[in-house]
Amino acid sequence: MCIHTSKTKKIINKNGKVFCIDCLNFLKYPPNFELMKKEVEEILHNLKRSGGKYHCILAFSGGKDSVLALKLLKERFKLNPLCVMVDNNYISNEAIENALKITKYYEVDLMILNRDYTDLFEDAIKRGESPCRRCSKLILREVWRVAKMLNMKYIITGHELPFGHSAIRKMKEGVEMIRLLAPYKITEEEKYKMLKNLPWKKPNLGGYTTNCLVLGVALERFYEKYGFSFEVDRVATLVRFGLLSKEKAEEVLKKPNIPEEVYEELRRRGLNI
């Protein structure tokens, strides 16, 4: 059902068929995407009736998924979000340019918080580990602070996978996060089709990323250390949900080829690699 092997996940033989443990759990407890969609849309429709300048916060990176989330908020739900971008010193210039163009196109406000995660990224790359979870945690903490400052209850993100069986998760002090793309099961091909007529251009950064300068290099170093990608769980889930073919998944999980200019830009910004 997915692309896991015994190298990346526990494999079980059940009734003469071979499954990874995640696929078995999926078969036993399948997520209800229609229920997820109903829960998310009920909240968003209620937000439309609420007052105030902004209906919600959108965690915005300028990458394809957060841009698609903005498109849905504006076109489908008729909401006015405040887009909050955390520039961790390693968001590509192309992604920032995309963010500026898209927010201008939709006539929404963009707040950019300048931070520096050099130490985090340098540590992860030198150890050959993924920086993504730590980076994401720090970014969401910053976005949460803005939500609290403005007394906003909902933070929308462009994450494509749910929290298990829900697209909604409670954060601290009454704030809730909604993974907007999760209930809609949008394939990669469909995403790019939906973005086609917008003023957004895909950067060439290495790996699958459309905003982060660090990710491709981190994937490369992890692959050299372990022989597989740290994205294997996420990609396997996309295959399991029918959002990515096995052939394309295997292509995505190959060791990336990082353009030399990406390395040069990382060093210019202060990363010692």
Q: Which CATH class is domain 31-268?
A: alpha beta
The one-character DSSP state at 84 is E
Q: What's the pLDDT at 148?
A: 97
Could you give the 3-state DSSP secondary structure of residue 14? Answer: strand
Residue spans of the domains in the chain: they are 1-30, 31-268
Q: Note whether 18 and 12 are within 8 A (CB).
A: yes
pLDDT over 80 at 207, yes or no: no
Compute the average pLDDT of residues 22-27. Answer: 96
Over the stretch 105-121, which tens digit does the pLDDT of each residue have? 999 999 999 999 999 99
Grade residue 174 by pLDDT with cuts at 50, 70 and 90.
very high
How many Å apart are CA 173 and CA 163, to the nearest integer?
Answer: 19
Compute the average pLDDT of residues 169-190. Answer: 96
C-alpha separations of 241 from 9, 23, 184, 236, 248 in Å = 17, 10, 11, 9, 14
Mean pLDDT for the chain overall:
95
Q: What's the pLDDT at 271?
A: 96
pLDDT over 80 at 206, yes or no: no
CA dihedral 35, 78, 198, 196 (to 10 degrees): 30
- Angle, helices 93-106 vs 64-71, to 10°: value is 0
